[in-house]
Amino acid sequence: MNIAVLLNMVPDLVEELEIDASGTALDTQWMRYVLNESDEHALEQALLLKDRHGARVTVLALDYGEVEDTLFSALAKGADEAVKLAGLSEAPSKRAAAAAFKTALSGMACDLVLTGVYAIDDQDGHTAGLLAGLMDLPFVGVTRSVEPADGKVLVQKEYAGGLAAEIEVSLPAVIGVLSAPQPPRYVPVAKIRETRKTRKLTEQDITGAESLPGPTIRRMFKPEAAEHAQMLEGSPEDVAKQIVMILAERGLVP
């Protein structure tokens, strides 16, 4: 089975987010990026399929942020090929990303496309489903498990309250992963460094991808908390006393 895993870089929320001068976008000048969490699970899901059933895993990512680290790390974890897609602006819209991935995938032999189902910076859509819509491929999102079954796949799609449905999907298909059946594997930095020396990234140009209509962004801003917690200040011991008082008033401690 040939599996393509689409990896997306998203803003690192540990850093303070800034809005740019236009007031309609994040300021990317100093922005740090991390790999979208559910994409990390999509990669793990692909590698599990490879380990257990055999597969060729190709990872693809758009070229912005520290994407090379991400791609080499994927190779170090066990991906067979890593493709860097050039030609899009930094932090592109989700529809531009979906169209770019469509262009990249159209020349590839691929049975299964795995990608995260949801990214923290989604505004004009979720890449996985948009891509499936553009490519007219079967799609199931919000999955927690993908298993091969007679040339098809069985996926578990999560609903609210812990309910899930098992769905059988013919290939080729796009599957949106929320989490893999086990935590993403860890790869030591030394091994990534080693991979940088011994492996090469494939580069592909995706200029000329389809341009899709999207919403018109009027402004991007930080929310002003309408309601805010009453903050407790002081040393840990002081704060502990205050908390116990609050609990005592409510009869939550003796």
Partner 1 sequence: MSPSGQDIWVYAEHQRGVLSSVTYELLGKARELAGALGGRAVAVLLGDGVHPLTATLGAADIVIAVEAPSLAEFTPQAHAAVLRALAQSRAPRLLLFGATSSGMDLASLLAGSLRIPLIVNCKTLTAEGGRVVATSQLCGGKLLCEADTGDGPAVVTVISGAFPAEQGVSDRTPQVEVVPLPVALDTVRMRVTRLLEPAPGDVDIAKAPVLVAVGRGIQRADNLPMAEELAAALGGTVCGSRPVVDQGWLPLSRQVGKSGMIVKPRLYFALGISGAPEHVEGMKDADLIIAVNSDAQAPIFSVADYGVVVDMFELLPALTQELGSRKTAAA
Site for ligand FAD in 178-207 (CB under 6 A): 178
Task: Report the C-alpha gap between 210 and 134 in whole angstroms.
Answer: 10
Site for ligand FAD in 81-120 (CB under 6 A): 118
Site for ligand FAD in 208-247 (CB under 6 A): none
Instruction: Name the token pair of 92.
Output: 């592109």
Which CB sits closer to ligand FAD, 160 or 190? 160
Site for ligand FAD in 135-174 (CB under 6 A): 142
Binds 150, which of ligand FAD, partner 1, none (CB < 5 to 8 A, cut-off by type)?
Answer: none
Which CB sits closer to partner 1, 173 or 201? 173
* Strand bridging mode 81-86 / 202-205: parallel
Binds 247, which of ligand FAD, partner 1, none (CB < 5 to 8 A, cut-off by type)?
Answer: partner 1
**Angle formed at CA 183 by CA 178 and CA 187, multiple of 5 degrees:** 120
Minimum distance from CB of 48 to ligand FAD (Å)? 20
Minimum distance from CB of 127 to ligand FAD (Å)? 13
Minimum distance from CB of 190 to ligand FAD (Å)? 26
Q: Which residues of 167-199 are buried (b: 16+ CB within 10 A; e: fewer)?
A: eebebbbbbbbbbbeeebeebeeeebeebbeee
Site for partner 1 in 26-85 (CB under 8 A): 26, 37, 41
Number of residues that bind partner 1 (CB under 8 A): 87
**Angle formed at CA 158 by CA 154 and CA 160, multiple of 5 degrees:** 160
Minimum distance from CB of 142 to ligand FAD (Å)? 5
**Sign of torsion, CA 20 207 115 132?**
positive
Task: Indicate whether 106 belongs to the interface with partner 1 (CB under 8 A).
Answer: no
Which CB sits closer to partner 1, 109 or 243? 243
Polymer length of the chain: 254
3-state secondary structure of 12: coil
Which CB sits closer to ligand FAD, 65 or 116? 116
Residues 6+ apart with CB under 8 A from 155: 140, 143, 145, 146, 147, 166, 167, 169, 175
Task: Indicate whether 34 belongs to the interface with ligand FAD (CB under 6 A).
Answer: no
Task: Indicate whether 216 belongs to the interface with partner 1 (CB under 8 A).
Answer: yes
236 C-beta neighbours (distance < 10 Å), count: 7
Minimum distance from CB of 89 to ligand FAD (Å)? 25
DSSP classification of residue 135: H
- Binding flags for partner 1, 11-30, as an x/- string (CB under 8 A): x-x--xx--------x----
Positions touching ligand FAD (CB under 6 A) are 118, 142, 178
